[in-house]
């Protein structure tokens, strides 16, 4: 919950959405290798197939300005865990202002993430977005972060 303050500050500074990003936080390298690989692979697929400019889609902490969120939510049709990835890709397609904020996260030992089953599920969901046409513009804009 201590990570919420910087996200709300980004919203107050004018962002439509502020998302936590593990990969831009200094503690990123201390995470277990298998978690870093899984995170990087997921984010790479979303960036390549769906055109996202974000570096981390799944940190789990996000803050939103109310009106843009109300406009986007009815179009999000995924009830499973990647609903927020779909929301973030759609927000970029609508040219909303997204800001990535460095956050740390905790992970459970042993991890409940199956590196056999879940990568296939993740790839399936990213491909579903791709084939559904949920993509951002391919314009090479960089999503800002509070670290520069």
Q: Which residues are catalytic?
A: 84
Query: Could you give the CA distance from residue 88 to residue 57 in angstroms, rounded to a whole number?
Result: 8
What does the DSSP 8-state code read for residue 144? P
What tokens were used for 81?
């865990």
Query: Could you give the CA distance from residue 90 to residue 147 in angstroms, rounded to a whole number?
Result: 24
Contact 18, 11 (CB under 8 A): yes
């Amino acid at each position: 919950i201590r990570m919420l303050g910087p996200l709300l500050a980004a919203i107050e500074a004018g962002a439509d959405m502020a998302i936590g990003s593990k990969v831009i936080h200094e503690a990123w390298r201390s995470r277990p290798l298998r978690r870093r690989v899984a995170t990087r692979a997921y984010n790479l697929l979303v960036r390549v197939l769906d055109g996202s400019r974000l570096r981390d889609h799944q940190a789990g902490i996000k803050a939103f300005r109310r009106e843009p969120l109300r406009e986007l939510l009815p179009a999000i049709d995924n009830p499973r865990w990647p609903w927020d990835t779909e929301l973030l890709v759609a927000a970029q397609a609508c040219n909303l202002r997204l800001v990535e904020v460095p956050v740390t996260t905790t992970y459970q030992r042993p991890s409940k993430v199956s590196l056999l089953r879940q990568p296939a599920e993740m790839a399936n969901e990213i491909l579903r977005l791709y084939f559904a046409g949920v993509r951002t513009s391919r314009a090479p804009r960089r999503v800002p972060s509070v670290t520069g």
